[in-house]
Chains A and B, each alone.
Chain A
Amino acid sequence: MSAPLPDVAALTQQIERARQQFANSGKLLSQIKEDEVRIATTPKHKVFGIDKVTLHRYEPLVKTRLRPPVLIAYGLVGRYTMIDLQEDRSLVRNLLAQGVDVYVVDWGDPNRADRWVTFDDYVGEYIDACVDHIRAAAGVDKINLLGICEGGTFSLCYAALNPHKVKNLVLTITPVDFHADQDDGRSDHGFVNLWLRSMEPSHVQRVIDSFGHIPGKLMGAIFSNLTPVRSMTKYNLDMLGALEDEDKLRNFLRMEQWLADRPNHTGEAARQFFVNLYQHNELVKGEFELCGRKVDLREVKMPVLNVYAKEDHIVPPPTSRALGKFVGTKDYSELQLPGGHVGMFVSSKSQGIVGKTLVDWLKKRQ
């Protein structure tokens, strides 16, 4: 809908209101301390470590009612703390409250020294070691694996290579067919896919040669460019809106804390992710090789739940939903959530749906 500019008197009144709002909100902002907006506060403890990778187990909130345990693997493009942003918007708390035994893998802080760590290492060494630790600790043959974003791609590859160790596979906002963004028909979706296809593989290689990794700050800047207007209004109009309400402001600040904590992406693993997958789309072509083997998605024969976000501009829905065409399982389900890429984990509405659906789905396949 279109609307014209207001008259001068109304405009003056609105400017005065905005000025007052700024003054009041400045006071509110100055009163909040960093401790009050801490993220990832659900108690957990380290149970295992390998290189820079740490496996944490969350303290149960109620008696464990669902087995086997769930291992959550986030990607390297962001930190796992997103799944536990705040008490009332925490996937982890949601699962714990329903009696799930939850583990999470933390990839640590990669730097130039980790340049040569590969996708193979993440899938074939680190996830495998974490899975084996959980199997041993819980005395089970198979565990439930939940992958998020790039961590979903890790998990999918792991499940294809080690189906005997994965009872159920849950993928959330996971890219699978990296060229399916072209089927989306949304002008605001799929810029990561488009821009990476527009680059030469040598560009990615030279970024890695130059930095030794893909810097978290560089990825943050790229993500900001995906939504140019939203990025322009973030620290003025949007923040002003958030400043009207203390809870909103705290949520805004928690999200800022998460965004500021974006780790670097290890170099070689980034080359495989961006060149082999984003540019060459090898995973769905059956050409992606890890640990000396081709990743054959037909080997994914365990039950699969694929969760995607309708408004996801980073991993457009068709790039996730393509999974159904390639996996070997007959027990494949999808869950569409409202909101965007991160909204799945920070929106209270989505949180309730994800937690409940996930636990119900797992219970039926216990």
Chain B
Amino acid sequence: MDMFDMMSRRMAEAPALATLWDTDRKLLASTLAFGRWQQAQAEVAWAMDGATRDAQAAFAERLKERSAVAADAKSATMNDALDQWLAVLNEAMLGTMREEPYLAAQRRQVETGLAFRESLAALADEACEWFQLPSRTDFDDLARSVTELRRELRALKRSTAPAPKPSSTRPVRKTREAAR
């Protein structure tokens, strides 16, 4: 870790001061979060590279075995070889994708990706405040209220709808079309 990294981390992770460097801290936290996400993505890619390397070794071994048979060598086509390589690669990749090291790398990728998005959201909320705009948090609250109100309205409509006649087989719910 170089000096700049160390200072950035210290600034982003040190106890917050009430009125000083708040935005700077958020910016730095976001930069660090981006770095962690990139690293986690590289770990996932590295796990899949490992699968490719395993597949290459397995494929080379198979080629060596088969090239000893002259009849097979003559009848082989580029498509045969390609199909075989893809089958070997597929097997290796699917195997890797089930193993704990890959799953752990995938979890870190999700975790750090989310942390980065959350750091951006914190900055966006702050920007909304500067420019006097409603933030995503405000919007989510509003959307929640609307959804809950719709539910309550539907429940109210149902409770006030006339009861069905005992002999009727028709349902009680009024469709929007019928209600118009």
Whether A132 touches B173, Cβ cut-off 8 Å, given contacts A198-B107, A203-B107, is yes
B40 within 8 A of A: no
Please give, as numbers and ranges, the residues of chain A lying within 8 Å of B62 by CB-CB distance: 2
Please give, as numbers and ranges, the residues of chain A lying within 8 Å of B143 by CB-CB distance: 112-116, 212
User: Which residues of A are in contact with B by a Cβ distance under 8 Å?
Assistant: 2-7, 10-11, 14-15, 47-51, 112-117, 121, 125, 128-129, 132-133, 135-136, 139-141, 165, 187-188, 191, 194-195, 198-200, 203, 206-207, 210, 212, 225, 228-230, 233, 237
CB proximity of A125 to chain B, nearest CB, Å? 6
Q: In the complex, what distance in Å separates the CA atom of A165 from the CA atom of B97?
A: 43
Please give, as numbers and ranges, the residues of chain B lying within 8 Å of A139 by CB-CB distance: 169-170
Which residues in window 130-180 of B have CB below 8 A to A?
A: 136, 139-140, 143-144, 146-148, 150-151, 154, 169-173, 175-178
CB proximity of A25 to chain B, nearest CB, Å? 16
Please give, as numbers and ranges, the residues of chain A lying within 8 Å of B76 by CB-CB distance: 3-6
* Interchain CB contact under 8 A, B94 and A188: yes
Whether A212 touches B140, Cβ cut-off 8 Å, given contacts A3-B76, A206-B114, is yes
Q: In the complex, what distance in Å separates the CA atom of A336 from the CA atom of B95?
A: 27
Specify which of A136, A203, A237 is in contact with B175 (CB 8 Å cutoff).
A136
B53 within 8 A of A: no
Q: In the complex, what distance in Å separates the CA atom of A255 from the CA atom of B75?
A: 35
Please give, as numbers and ranges, the residues of chain B lying within 8 Å of A133 by CB-CB distance: 173, 175, 177
Q: In the complex, what distance in Å separates the CA atom of A49 from the CA atom of B179?
A: 12
Specify which of A125, A141, A188 is in contact with B169 (CB 8 Å cutoff).
A141
B90 within 8 A of A: yes
CB proximity of A240 to chain B, nearest CB, Å? 11
Q: How many residues of B contact A (CB 8 A)?
A: 57
* Interchain CB contact under 8 A, A5 and B94: no
* Interchain CB contact under 8 A, B171 and A132: yes
* Interchain CB contact under 8 A, A228 and B170: no
Q: Could you say which of B90, B107, B121 has the most chain A C-beta atoms within 10 Å of its C-beta?
A: B90
Please give, as numbers and ranges, the residues of chain A lying within 8 Å of B154 by CB-CB distance: 125
CB proximity of B123 to chain A, nearest CB, Å? 13
* Interchain CB contact under 8 A, A15 and B78: yes
Please give, as numbers and ranges, the residues of chain B lying within 8 Å of A15 by CB-CB distance: 78
* Interchain CB contact under 8 A, A10 and B93: no
* Interchain CB contact under 8 A, B94 and A210: no
* Interchain CB contact under 8 A, B176 and A49: yes
Whether A203 touches B81, Cβ cut-off 8 Å, given contacts A113-B143, A115-B143, A128-B173, is no
Contact string against A for B residues 84-124, beta-carbon threshold 8 Å, 1 for contact and 0 otherwise = 10100111011101100001001100110010011001000
* Interchain CB contact under 8 A, B107 and A228: no
Which residues in window 63-82 of B have CB below 8 A to A?
A: 63, 65-67, 69, 72-82
B48 within 8 A of A: yes
Q: In the complex, what distance in Å separates the CA atom of A50 from the CA atom of B151?
A: 11
* Interchain CB contact under 8 A, B73 and A194: no
Specify which of A5, A11, A121 is in contact with B63 (CB 8 Å cutoff).
A5
* Interchain CB contact under 8 A, A6 and B77: yes
Specify which of B63, B75, B118, B170 is in contact with A206 (CB 8 Å cutoff).
B118
Name the residue on B nearest A204 (C-beta).
Answer: B110
Q: In the complex, what distance in Å separates the CA atom of A48 from the CA atom of B67?
A: 67
Sample of 16 A–B contacts (CB below 8 Å): A2-B66, A3-B72, A3-B84, A4-B69, A4-B81, A5-B63, A6-B73, A14-B79, A51-B150, A115-B140, A125-B154, A136-B171, A139-B169, A210-B117, A228-B48, A233-B86
Name the residue on A nearest B116 (C-beta).
Answer: A210
Task: List 12 additional A-B contacts (Cβ < 8 Å) besides A48-B177, A203-B114, A233-B86.
Answer: A4-B67, A4-B69, A4-B72, A4-B81, A5-B67, A50-B176, A125-B151, A195-B103, A206-B118, A210-B121, A228-B48, A228-B93
* Interchain CB contact under 8 A, A11 and B78: yes
* Interchain CB contact under 8 A, A2 and B84: yes
Q: In the complex, what distance in Å separates the CA atom of A364 from the CA atom of B23?
A: 69
Q: Which 4 A-B pairs have the closest CB atoms?
A: A132-B173, A229-B90, A116-B147, A3-B80
Contact string against A for B residues 4-38, beta-carbon threshold 8 Å, 1 for contact and 0 otherwise = 00000000000000000000000000000000000
Please give, as numbers and ranges, the residues of chain A lying within 8 Å of B74 by CB-CB distance: 7
CB proximity of A5 to chain B, nearest CB, Å? 5
